[in-house]
Amino acid sequence: MQSLASPTRHRVAGSERIGPYTLLRLERGGLEPGVAGQFFMLEAPGRPLPRPFSLCLAPPGELAFLIDPIGPGTEAICELEVGDEIRVLGPLGHGYRLDVERPLLVGGGIGIAPLPYLAEQLGGSPPVVLGFRSEEHAEAAALFPSAEVVIDPVLVTDVLPEGYDVLACGPEPMLHAVADLCPDAQLAWEAPMACGYGACYGCVVEIDGALKRLCLEGPVLDAQRVNGRYRVPAVSEEAVSA
């Protein structure tokens, strides 16, 4: 993990639309890409708080993030242009365990964000199943050389093959459904976060039966550690695709 000092400034190297999402590429500078599933806090221009994003891709000399513009902060980040600079802190939190025998990557919507980098770290082109709410959102499947893609009302859990080590990221209902089918899955969760390093106590979810900070415990957790006493309806504002 990056030592906790002031976030460093990074120039935008590229920003391209993929369906409704934006793939933002930043010059890496001195930051390490970390382990897939870890996250970075990106400054949201003009807003008081940064936003958490898991790393999507780690091209040479760059860090790339997939962003869904769903609120003022994420919109401001998507409007960044090449040459603009933003402050970045990370990598933070705990990513996926990569020591799995038969990986299967499962993503839903913006939850596909950490999977391209995860596939790269796992090596060997693991199978990928992706679910989207529309054809437009499904354009983001272009980030993967080959993936099985389903579109609502078909769900990823309708097509999950058996016998794999599932590594998933997506909306809460999808993660709960995956957990029911695959109790040994590794799941990347999201929650509103102000800091990303355990200071704000804002990102608690129920982990091991108690409210714990997702930024410190996760965001990737073994499926059996999370159950549903508190279900956040949906991340309402800026989300936080950590």
Partner 1 sequence: MRILNASGCLDALAAPEVARQLDAFVTKTVTPLPREGNAPPRIAETAHGMLNAIGLANPGRERFVADHLPRLRELGIPLWVSVGGFCAEDYAVTCSLLAGIEAIELNLSCPNVDEAADSAAEIVAACRRASELPLYAKLSAAHPDIAEVAQAVAAAGADGLSLINTLRAVAFDRQLRPALARGSGGLSGPALKPVALHAVRACHTETVLPIVGMGGIQTGRDALEFAACGARDIALGTVLFADPGAPSRVRVELASACEDAGVAKPEDAASLAKTPETGRKVPA
For partner 1, the closer of residues 177 and 240 by Cβ is 240
CB of 235 to partner 1, least distance (A): 8
Q: Which two tokens stand for residue 155?
A: 């769900």
Tell me how far apart the alpha carbons of residues 11 and 80 are, in angstroms, rounded to a whole number: 10
For partner 1, the closer of residues 105 and 191 by Cβ is 191
For residue 102, the number of C-alpha atoms closer than 13 Å in the C-beta half-sphere is 6
For partner 1, the closer of residues 7 and 116 by Cβ is 7
- Number of residues that this document lists for the chain: 242
Contacts of 115 (CB under 8 A, 6+ apart): 36, 105, 107, 128, 130, 143, 144, 167, 169
CB of 102 to partner 1, least distance (A): 34
For partner 1, the closer of residues 64 and 203 by Cβ is 203
Tell me how far apart the alpha carbons of residues 41 and 50 are, in angstroms, rounded to a whole number: 6
Tell me how far apart the alpha carbons of residues 105 and 119 are, in angstroms, rounded to a whole number: 8
Residue with the two structure tokens 């802190």:
89
Binding site for partner 1 (CB under 8 A): 3-7, 41, 43, 47-50, 71, 73, 87, 89, 191-195, 197-205, 210-211, 216, 230, 232, 235-238
CB of 211 to partner 1, least distance (A): 5
For partner 1, the closer of residues 71 and 127 by Cβ is 71
CB of 100 to partner 1, least distance (A): 28
CB of 59 to partner 1, least distance (A): 27
| Longest alpha-carbon distance in the chain | 47
For partner 1, the closer of residues 96 and 197 by Cβ is 197
CB of 39 to partner 1, least distance (A): 15
Tell me how far apart the alpha carbons of residues 28 and 12 are, in angstroms, rounded to a whole number: 10
